[in-house]
Structure formats: C-alpha cells, structure tokens
Chain A
Amino acid sequence: MIIAVAGKGGTGKTLVSALLIHFISKKNSKLLAVDADPDSNLPEALGVKVEKTLGAVRELFQVSRDEMGTMNKEQWLEGKIYEVVCECDGYDLLVMGRPEGEGCYCFANSLLRGILKKLMRHYDYIVVDSEAGLEHFSRKTIDSADYVIIVTDSSKKGLTTAKRIKELMAELKINVKDVFLVANKVNREAMEKIKKFADDENLKILEFLPYDEEVVKIDVEGLPVTALSENSEVYKRVKKIVDFFLEVVA
C-alpha cells in the first residue's frame, strides 16, 4: 500500500508522515519511508541521519557514466540506490534529495523508474512525504499511490494548495483509491470552515488535529516526533489514522 502525504509547506505534512511511519513500523517492518520533498526534513522528524540521497546518486551517475565502459548502467544505479536506502529501526528510508541539475536525465530517470518499481513491490507499506507539486508522481519515478492524504491548516493558502493537489492528482491520472484530508492546527471555528471546504471539494476528512504546544516545542527544538508524549492529542489522533489504514483499509 502506497500512502502519499502532501500539502503546503508548514501545514504539518512532515509531522503527519513521520508519525504514520512511526506507528506503522511498530506493526510491520516491511515499510519504506520516502522523503520526496527536498524542502522537508523527514529524516530529522524521524530522528535519523541520512548521508546520501537518490539525487546525489543520480548526479554521480551523470558524471561517471562515460567511464563505465561495458558495465551495465542499470545494475550500477541499482546498486548505488540500495546503498542509499537507510536501514532504520523498523523501516527503510529513501531520501530523494535535490531535483535534477541541468542536462538530460531521460535515461537516468527511465532506469530509476524501473529500479524503484522493483524495489517498492517488496514492501507492504510505503509512505511518501511529497511536496505539493507531486513531482515524483508526475515524473513517474514513483509509480502510483493508493491513498493520498492532503494535510492542510485552516489558512486560505493551505486550502488552495489542497485543492490544487486534488486537481493535479486527477490530471496525472494517478490511480488512487481515495483522497483524504487531514486538518492540522484547527480550532472549532476553523473546523466549520474546513468541513465546508471538504464538502465542496468532495474530500473525506480523516482527522482534525488540534493546535498542540508540545508539537510546537519539539519543532522549535528540532526533536523527532518520537519525543511526543503518548498523551499528546496529536499523537493519539494520528495513531487513529494508522489504525484506520492498518485495519479498515487493509
């Protein structure tokens, strides 16, 4: 099952992704976490350090390919990608890293698509922290998503982005089973606004997450989401989302 989490930066998208990963990994370690947003810092939110990214490997491929002689480039690239997959406690983590530089990436991306497809089919769960532009989905480096969770706050910009993501999904013909909305940092008043928005846009609201001092605190201190106490409302509610995916959906 591929779950993509998308939304405007700052809405708490990475917090939700990291918590999803945290809870799923406790139940099933055949889990791949993908950081597909060069602006986010999923590894930090998970409390792990990642040295190398897929982007760096792709760049290395671009500069070393002339020297590969008769070597098989797909095997070379595959080997390097497996090297950058970080083996964390209970899950694997792949950081896509920076976008392409100049030059032609047609061949590199064509190889990547094949390699990631093969890699991904061996995981039970894949959680993708994706930027709002869904670049990796549009380039098909990530083939598809079964479920998309759009994270928004109650700001106009957050909602506009949510709407755009939904439209983009349709445009890209990603064969999703369902698109959900998770509203973050909401008070009662905002709840009504978001409910109306979800109705208008035909989006299912998965959960409302309240404003949480503890979340702000770990954010300020750069602590991983695992530092959240189990009594935290956000912690409890994201756990509910995961239970939904693990039980109801599966």
Chain B
Amino acid sequence: MVERKKVEIPAGAKVKVSLGPEESFPFDISPMYEGERIRKQDMFVELGGPTQVKFELVMALPMDQVEDMKVTVVGPDLDEMEEGKAYPYGMIYYVAGSKIETDLEPVIERRNHDFQNYIQGYMHLNQRYDIWIRISKDSVKKGLKSLAQIAKATMMLYKNELPFIEKIEAVYITEKDLVEKILKEVAMPIYDERDKRVEMLHDEDVEEFYSCTLCQSFAPTNVCIVSPDRPSLCGAITWFDGRAAAKVDPEGPNRAVPKGQLIDPIGGEYSGVNDFAKRESGGEYSKIKLHSFFEYPHTSCGCFETIGFYMPEVDGIGFVHRGYPNPAPNGLTFSTMAGQTGGGKQTIGFLGVGVAYFRSKKFLQADGGWYRVVWMAKDLKERVKNYIPEELRNKIATEEDAKTLDELKEFLKKVNHPVVTGVVRPVDGKKITEGWKEVVKEVPPVAKPVEVAKPAEAAPAVAQPAVQPAVVQPTVQPVAIQPVAPALQLFQLPQPTVAPAGIKIIVKDAKITIDKVIIRRAEKK
C-alpha cells in the first residue's frame, strides 16, 4: 500500500496559509448550482481542464496529523491570476476521524465534485486526473479572491454532510511542477491501488449487492444482480457503479440487495438474492446462482456483450461476442442465440455475460470456470487473454483453430483440453465431468439416400453419429437427446439438416429424457 503522509512542499515555494473556518462567503452555496456551465466568455480562469496538469486526492491520516480547517495554497492564488487563462490545479484533502480508513478515501473524494458544484460561479467536472474547473468573472466581481475561500466552503460542506469526518485540511496547488510531481509520485499510485482493490474485492467482502432493472422495459422479468465478482452482463455496471447509483437514488433502477444467507458458496447462491429475484421478476423464477452456467443461471436481458453456449458434443462452453458475425462451432450466430436467450429468461445451456465477467475470480466457478471453456471468438479471446489461466491459453480454440464441431473436437483432442479427460473445478478440486467416452464409428456421418417406400422429404429424421448427442427431428416435435447430466433440461435448436430415412441410430452410454415424442404419418398433399 502507498504510504499516506502529507505531501512535501518544497522550500521557497510561494505559500499562503489560512486557518479556521470562514465567517461568510462572497458566493451562494446550494445544490441548485449543480450542472451550471460557466461559459468561456463568462469565465475568469480555468483550473485544470483539457490543457493543464491537474488532480484531486483525498488521503486519510491519523487524527494528530490533520489540522482542522487549515488551507494551504501553493503557487499563484486567484488574485494573482490573469483573466482568461488556464492554470494547473491540484486539490488535496487530508481527512481524519475514528471511523475513517483508507477504504473511505475514494468515497470522500467523489463528493468533492458534488460539494464544489454547490458553489455558485464555480464549475467542477470529472474526477481524479481529469478535473476541470472554471471560476466565473461574476464571482470574482462579488469578492472571491482566494482559492482558500473555495477550500473553506468545500470543507464546511464535507463536515456538514459527512459527519464522520472529524478533521479536514486542504492543500490547493497551482504551481505546475509541484502538481506534476505529486500527481506522478503520490496520486497516481493511490489511484492504481484503488483500481487494483476492485479486483481484490469479492462477493464475500460486502454486505450488499446491487440490482439493475434498467432493461425491464423490454425484458420485464429480467433482474440483473451486480456483485463484486459479477459485473452486469451489458458490461456497463460494476458493483461500485451500483453502489454509487443506489446512493443517489435508492428507489431507482439500481437498488441495494442485502445478500442474506449464503446457500451455495460455489454456485454463488444467496437467500437475499433469491428473495429479490422472486419479487422483482413477478415470481417468474425463485433462484439465481451468480456463478453457475447450468444450475439456476442468471437471467439474460438481451443486452449482454457476449453469449456463452454449451456444446454437449464436446461437453464444453463456447463464447461469442456481439461483433462476431459468423456462426459459432454449434452452427449458430450470436444473434440467433441471443434471440433464444434474451428476454429475461433462465435458459440453461446459454448464458449472457459481460466482458468484464471474464476477469472475475469466480468466473463460472461452479462449472469449472475457464477449464470448461473450449472455444472463443478470436477478438474476444484477445480482449481477455490476460485473465485466462496460463495453462489454458493455448487450449481454447478460436475460429482460426476450429469453425465446426468436428474441427473443434480434433483441436481439443490435440491440445488435450481438460474436457477431454474430465474437468476438475479449481474452486474445490471436485471432478465435475467424466471426459469423453470412446468414439464409436458405426454410422458414417452422411449416409447415402436409400430408396424407401415413402417420399424422402415426408419423413425427415435426423441422426448424428452415435456417441455424442443425437438430435432427432421427427415431423412435429424436436427431441433433444442429452448424454451428459440427466437433470439438465438442455435447450436444443432443431438441426436444419434433413437426413434420409432408413439409417440406424446408435446412442451409447447416454441417459435419455424425453417428455413427448409424436410420430405421425406425413399427410399427402
């Protein structure tokens, strides 16, 4: 962790110090000024912004190191600035309080934007190293002459609105070299550290997840649950975004979902999430497992960036992203699969996920995570390459390795992908798949049409070579034969091919569940 300490102000720097709270301000302070745009022609000066070096930073320090309501301005102050010019800007706040820890720094820092925008004639935009401030001519006319006045007003708001801040001190810097130096040596390492913490933050570390129902307008039963280990499937919302939105509008589309009891630590099932999902989906479903592909998977709205599809033929999962136009090895395109999966349903065999979910430590952990992934569109694989366990990076095929199931089978055998011999899921070391059974070639993949009494097209029956799932398509009802887990209600699209009647179907080592088979004589036209 980056050490938190006061920044060093070089000897000889131009320094102005102001102590204690301000009696009155020459400007109004109110939330109504939020969003106020100070136009170039009304602007006295610009601080930071597109052309200057800039940052804002909050650091938590021990109580005895913070001098409450002290402001230090380093570099030219407002009354020494030239009208119409832009200046570098660094804002540092030291905060202390018995409840304040480093974790709270970003939460406090974010409020600088809100509070400073309450100040009339002061525009604050963006955050961190992107801040952009403008001060209006009007304010200067009304008596604003020092940045210390701005700092005092901001600190006052901080203490009023966030009472856990017991002491606060500010250092505002307009001296270019110093802004640059502190940005590089102190602020950037702290921002990086915070972002790394995102990857370190897990479902078990928080009390609440957040919901997202932005998509309910077109997927009425969809409820996205956003947890630290599972960003939204549209890729837009992380747990941090959910928290920020829920704070602003607790009844809005992002609401807090208390986790409740942990029911299945591996699948990621929580009683609070189940209750919420049941209520918000109008009873459409009662369970959601956050990190499972096959059992009570998360619903998919239609917004997902990528779609995962189970291929029983290889007992593995493939992923294709929205931008990939060609059919995946299962013969289906993104849009075909999306059409089947979207709309806020729990569809076993297909799952919409956001690209950011591939970074998750809990990525499909109930089903073996990366060890169950056999194919990815190349662009997608490139984007998330660094998150694939090293030993698997070359074992996951792309369209360059395999375009069809047969090519995929060959590839997986060649690289000895875990699905071939059986997947051991890393999370608990349990072997979850049996691996492929011996391949029996009793039926050639394409049989020659045989003369039959009935016209061939009247009796389309599809059969695939023995071992792996055969999809039989009688005239009416498509029937899926699944070799894998008997409990699964696998969704199968009817295969478009029409094979001639009169071939032998051999299914070995398979458990078959069939709800209904209807065989009818084809009606003569």
Contact = CB atoms under 8 A, between A and B. Distances in A.
A79 interface: yes
A173 to B, nearest CB: 15
Interface string A87-103: 10000100000000011
Nearest to B237: A107
B132 A79 contact: yes
B126 A87 contact: no
Contacts of B110: 72, 75
Contacts of A107: 212, 214, 232, 234, 236-237, 241
A122 B123 CA distance: 12
A106 B303 contact: yes
Nearest to A116: B35
Nearest to A79: B126
Contact of A118 (B34, B235, B323): B34
A83 B241 CA distance: 22
Interface in A207-240: none
Contact of B35 (A65, A70, A71, A121): A121
B132 A82 contact: yes
B393 interface: no
Interface in A107-149: 107-108, 110, 115, 118-119, 121-122
B253 A110 contact: yes
B299 to A, nearest CB: 14
B47 to A, nearest CB: 14
Nearest to A76: B126
Contacts of B449: none
Nearest to A32: B37
Interface string A27-64: 00100000000000000000000000000000000000
Nearest to A80: B126
A69 B199 CA distance: 9
B194 A69 contact: yes
Nearest to B356: A66
Given A66-B235, A74-B244, A110-B214, A79 B198 contact: no
A104 B307 CA distance: 14
B126 A65 contact: no
B35 A119 contact: yes
A73 B35 contact: no
A72 B50 CA distance: 18
Contact of B125 (A65, A69, A75, A87): A75
A122 B35 contact: yes
A3 interface: no
Contacts of A65: 235-236
A85 interface: yes
Given A82-B125, A104-B236, A92 B37 contact: yes
A24 to B, nearest CB: 15
Nearest to B216: A106
Interface residues of B, number: 43
A31 to B, nearest CB: 10
Interface in B208-262: 212, 214-215, 232, 234-237, 240-241, 244, 253
Contact of B236 (A29, A70, A106, A119): A106
B213 to A, nearest CB: 10
A72 B244 contact: yes
Contacts of A108: 236
B236 A87 contact: no
Given A65-B236, A70-B106, A87-B39, A102 B323 contact: yes
Q: Which of A72, A104, A115, A118 has the most CB of B within 10 A?
A: A104
B184 interface: no
Given A72-B110, A74-B244, A118-B35, A106 B234 contact: yes
Contacts of B41: 29, 87
Nearest to A121: B35
Interface in B118-141: 125-128, 130, 132
A70 B195 contact: yes
A78 B126 contact: yes
B40 to A, nearest CB: 5
Nearest to A67: B195
A106 B214 contact: yes
A70 B201 CA distance: 11
B127 A71 contact: yes
Contact of B37 (A66, A75, A85, A102): A85
| Shortest 5 CB-CB contacts between residues of A and residues of B | A69-B195, A118-B35, A104-B303, A79-B126, A107-B236
Interface of A: 29, 65-66, 69-76, 78-79, 82-83, 85, 87, 92, 102-104, 106-108, 110, 115, 118-119, 121-122
13 contacts: A66-B356, A69-B194, A70-B106, A74-B244, A83-B132, A85-B37, A102-B322, A103-B305, A104-B305, A107-B212, A107-B234, A107-B237, A107-B241
Given A103-B322, A118-B35, A122-B37, 14 more contacts: A65-B235, A69-B191, A69-B195, A70-B195, A70-B197, A73-B241, A75-B110, A79-B125, A79-B127, A82-B37, A83-B132, A104-B215, A104-B302, A110-B253
